Amino acid sequence: MSQHTLPALSELEQYLHSKTDDIDFSVLKSSLAAAAAAPDRPDNDDILDHILPDAPNELRILLIKARNSLRQSILSAVHAPEKSQDRLNSLRQEMHSQTIDGFIVPLNDEFHGEAAPAASERLKWLTGFTGSAGMATVLADKAAIFVDGRYTLQVRQEVNTDLFTPRHVSDEPLSNWLNDNMKPGQSLAYDPWLHTESNINMLSKMAKQLEISLVAVDKNPIDEIWTDRPPEPLALVVPHSDVFSGETSAAKRERIAALLIETGQNASVHTLPDVNAWLLNLRGADLPSTPFALGFSILHKDSTVDLYMPTEKLSADLIPHLGNAVRVHDRQEFESGLKAMSGKRVQIDPAVTSQWIVSQLENAGAHITRADDPCMLPKATKNKTEIDGTRTAHIRDGAAITKFLHWLSVETPSGDIDELTAERKLRSFRELGDNFKDLSFSTISGAGPNGAIVHYRATPESNRKLEVGNLYLVDSGGQYLDGTTDITRTVAIGTPTDEMKERFTLVLKGHIALAQATFPTGTSGSQLDALARLPLWSRGLDYDHGTGHGVGSYLSVHEGPQRISKMPSTVALQPGMILSNEPGYYKTGEYGIRIENLVTVVPSPRINGAERDVMAFETLTFAPIDQNAIDIDLLDSSEKDWLNSYHQSVWDKISPLVDGDVKDWLKTVTAAL
């Protein structure tokens, strides 16, 4: 249904027509469409009060209805796999008229973050693919879609494989496919906004090897043919109080500017949404589950910032919060902002900066310095206020989880509870907590075999009952003003099998080994990853995901540069970093196990005779680990001590926040082994 025929819109228009002539409905409609292009979040009604202040309740309800209808309409227009053939035909016509032989369609947007708004879902629009990583390449007579191991099945369910040949991104890489399907001298085009400089460097090498020419398009051919492309999302951008950030934006800007001065830079360009949110102490609602406001910034060595972000998104109190040293411009002015860098030394991070930005700087005659974004490490190493905040947020979150686990213990014996019901119930417990803003990611609520799907998301079609004899895996988290949480618990419904207990205990041993580790300054997460896997490895088992990811402070639940994984890393773990500790085990078609707590890196208490500064992990997450699923014989005494001491802390911290049956239950499940 096209937007102009939506009943909720007509209803709104009629209502306004009957009340006033002061409102230009076409302007209101485009604001509402932009608001609808922002995700469904608890705080995204705030923008309506910003668009139309002081609306009576009656009108506000109509506005919300109209916005929701528009959102439905946007979502269904973007994800329409049945139109792939038509869309692909149009794209090829456009490519032909732009005289390009091939075009790359990545999944990401120009901010190169983890998620992208509807207007940037070009890959989904073209192919119908809904995964979180992928890329298509279109030639005049062939097209392919490249996905990683997580999505090799899903891509075949979602995408018309007559149109797009599915390929495994590393086993069957783009270069091989291009080698088979392109001729030397042909042109492969890309949108320079959608590729980082690092990515273009790789593609250039490949193109050189294949003797094809790699060309940047001026206008993305998809945008040229995407007639009902959604607007940029319109969601309110608000201050993030110093009470939670622990450091003013002015202090942060001075700190980073000092780093720039140290290496002789005049300025640095920042495109990552979490970097800009951290640097300027602001938060938005442009994307699901992460409080991001999309925009670009240029930080100058005098510690002032030019911020390129639509001014209509900014809440009234944001402007004074930003102060005079932050100049806000519309995004169209970014180009001239870059041009003004002529002759200056400008630092960019090639791994996250669009080739378009690099080209603008080069054309302007700026001297480019390539380095990691200087905000990344300061952002990752939280200050005392942030760590204290995250500690209290985790206790509230742990209380919600405890209530939920108790609820499960009461309700699941009936066999009537299903994944979606459980997921909703968990959310309702979280929503009761102070400072709760949103979930920090889509809850993974997987019963039995669904628990074995690492990135599972329950749908009405996949929804399973939590049956007795099964394991239930629930991975979830909250966004609180004072911290971001992420926790996984695996619960035995009824009595688990011996094998389930063995595997659960191996995963727990790995979790404990990592939680107990001490390590010297300079140690990276990749050096510690094996500690969490060794118990599984010793029995010929493993899990195919990282052991730990960085977590932000009321920011992204996935942040770098810290991580604990098999992937080599030179990023040293530092005090104040927050990471997950989440080993797992997955038996396809049967069950999944994951035990996840967040931890923060702390200087280790002084050890007698120590010669090096060593660090350790402080566990932040407090919720019971299911002792029914443990094979006690597999734990050594140090592991039992850890578990008992952990459960004692869970009791100490969570029991004051619960009462009655929940408290009684908590006493039982946190009792020493």
> Which of residues 484 and 526 has its CB atom nearest to a copy of itself in the complex?
526
Query: Residue 270 CB, nearest distance to a copy of itself (Å)?
Result: 22
Query: Residue 530 CB, nearest distance to a copy of itself (Å)?
Result: 5
- From the list 468, 429, 472, the residue with the least C-alpha distance to 449 is 472
Considering only residues 414, 495, 538, 648, which one is a binding residue for a copy of itself as defined by CB under 8 A?
A: 538
Binding part of the chain for a copy of itself, among 27-35, 315-323, 403-411, 519-527 by CB under 8 A, reads 519-527
Query: Residue 614 CB, nearest distance to a copy of itself (Å)?
Result: 5
- From the list 91, 376, 337, the residue with the least C-alpha distance to 219 is 91
Chain positions 169 to 228 lying near a copy of itself, rule: CB under 8 A, are: 209
3-state secondary structure 318-365: HHHHHCCCEEEECHHHHHHHHHCCCCCEEEECCCCCEHHHHHHHHHCC
User: In terms of DSSP bridges, do strands 345-348 and 367-370 run parallel, antiparallel, or are they unpaired?
Assistant: parallel
The terminus-to-terminus CA distance of the chain in angstroms comes to 60
Scanning the structure block, which residue is given the tokens 């995700």?
39
User: In terms of DSSP bridges, do strands 478-480 and 518-520 run parallel, antiparallel, or are they unpaired?
Assistant: unpaired
Considering only residues 529, 559, 582, 596, which one is a binding residue for a copy of itself as defined by CB under 8 A?
A: 529
User: How distant, in Å, are the alpha carbons of 109, 217, 340 from that of 96?
Assistant: 24, 13, 36
Query: Residue 608 CB, nearest distance to a copy of itself (Å)?
Result: 8
517 binds a copy of itself (CB under 8 A): yes
Binding part of the chain for a copy of itself, among 375-383, 518-526, 549-557, 658-666 by CB under 8 A, reads 518-526
> Which of residues 319 and 541 has its CB atom nearest to a copy of itself in the complex?
541
518 binds a copy of itself (CB under 8 A): yes
156 binds a copy of itself (CB under 8 A): no
346 binds a copy of itself (CB under 8 A): no
Scanning the structure block, which residue is given the tokens 């004074």?
320
> Which of residues 456 and 585 has its CB atom nearest to a copy of itself in the complex?
585
566 binds a copy of itself (CB under 8 A): yes
Could you give the CA distance from residue 505 to residue 469 in angstroms, rounded to a whole number? 17
Could you give the CA distance from residue 306 to residue 326 in angstroms, rounded to a whole number? 6
Binding part of the chain for a copy of itself, among 131-139, 251-259, 426-434, 608-616 by CB under 8 A, reads 608-616
User: In terms of DSSP bridges, do strands 305-308 and 483-484 run parallel, antiparallel, or are they unpaired?
Assistant: unpaired
Scanning the structure block, which residue is given the tokens 């002759």?
343
- Longest Cα–Cα distance of the chain, Å, equals 82
Binding part of the chain for a copy of itself, among 192-200, 406-414, 609-617, 665-673 by CB under 8 A, reads 609-617
Which residues have CB under 8 Å from 461's CB, separation 6+?
none
289 binds a copy of itself (CB under 8 A): no
> Which of residues 581 and 670 has its CB atom nearest to a copy of itself in the complex?
581
Query: What would the x/- binding string for a copy of itself be over residues 624 to 663, using CB under 8 A?
Result: ------------x---------------------------
498 binds a copy of itself (CB under 8 A): no
604 binds a copy of itself (CB under 8 A): yes
> Which of residues 91 and 506 has its CB atom nearest to a copy of itself in the complex?
506
Which residues, in sequence order, are bridge partners of residue 518?
A: 616
Binding part of the chain for a copy of itself, among 307-315, 387-395, 540-548, 594-602 by CB under 8 A, reads 540-548
137 binds a copy of itself (CB under 8 A): no
Query: Residue 656 CB, nearest distance to a copy of itself (Å)?
Result: 33
Query: Residue 537 CB, nearest distance to a copy of itself (Å)?
Result: 5
Considering only residues 541, 602, 634, 657, which one is a binding residue for a copy of itself as defined by CB under 8 A?
A: 541
- From the list 527, 521, 519, 581, the residue with the least C-alpha distance to 550 is 581
Number of residues near a copy of itself (by CB under 8 A): 36
Which residues have CB under 8 Å from 479's CB, separation 6+?
289, 290, 291, 436, 437, 438, 439, 440, 554, 557
Burial-class residue 630 by CB neighbours within 10 Å (0-12, 13-18, 19+).
Answer: buried
Considering only residues 64, 80, 340, 534, which one is a binding residue for a copy of itself as defined by CB under 8 A?
A: 534
Considering only residues 56, 185, 460, 540, which one is a binding residue for a copy of itself as defined by CB under 8 A?
A: 540
H helices of 348-437, where? 355-363, 376-380, 384-411, 419-431
Angle at 639 between CA 637 and CA 641, to 5 degrees: 70
Which residues, in sequence order, are bridge partners of residue 473?
A: 446, 490
CB count within 10 Å of CB 613 equals 11
- Classify residue 415 as left (phi > 0), alpha (psi -120 to 50) or beta: left
> Which of residues 315 and 369 has its CB atom nearest to a copy of itself in the complex?
369
261 binds a copy of itself (CB under 8 A): no
Element (H, E) at 480: strand 478-480
Query: Residue 587 CB, nearest distance to a copy of itself (Å)?
Result: 8
Considering only residues 31, 108, 569, 670, which one is a binding residue for a copy of itself as defined by CB under 8 A?
A: 569
Chain positions 362 to 401 lying near a copy of itself, rule: CB under 8 A, are: 369
DSSP 314: B
Could you tell me if 587 and 383 are in contact, meaning their C-beta atoms sit under 8 angstroms apart? no
Considering only residues 174, 280, 375, 531, which one is a binding residue for a copy of itself as defined by CB under 8 A?
A: 531
Considering only residues 187, 385, 527, 628, which one is a binding residue for a copy of itself as defined by CB under 8 A?
A: 527
The amino acid present at 553, given as its one-letter code, is S
Scanning the structure block, which residue is given the tokens 């970014």?
334
539 binds a copy of itself (CB under 8 A): yes
> Which of residues 362 and 613 has its CB atom nearest to a copy of itself in the complex?
613
Burial-class residue 548 by CB neighbours within 10 Å (0-12, 13-18, 19+).
Answer: buried
- From the list 399, 386, 385, the residue with the least C-alpha distance to 434 is 399
What are the start-end ranges of the E strands in 513-558? 518-520, 548-550
Query: Residue 637 CB, nearest distance to a copy of itself (Å)?
Result: 10
581 binds a copy of itself (CB under 8 A): no
> Which of residues 420 and 614 has its CB atom nearest to a copy of itself in the complex?
614
Considering only residues 356, 472, 519, 646, which one is a binding residue for a copy of itself as defined by CB under 8 A?
A: 519
Tokens of 398: 């742990």
Query: Residue 380 CB, nearest distance to a copy of itself (Å)?
Result: 18
> Which of residues 88 and 564 has its CB atom nearest to a copy of itself in the complex?
564
Binding part of the chain for a copy of itself, among 13-21, 328-336, 521-529, 648-656 by CB under 8 A, reads 521-529
Which positions touch a copy of itself (CB under 8 A)? 209, 369, 499, 517-520, 522-524, 526-531, 534, 537-542, 566, 568-570, 604, 607, 609-614, 636
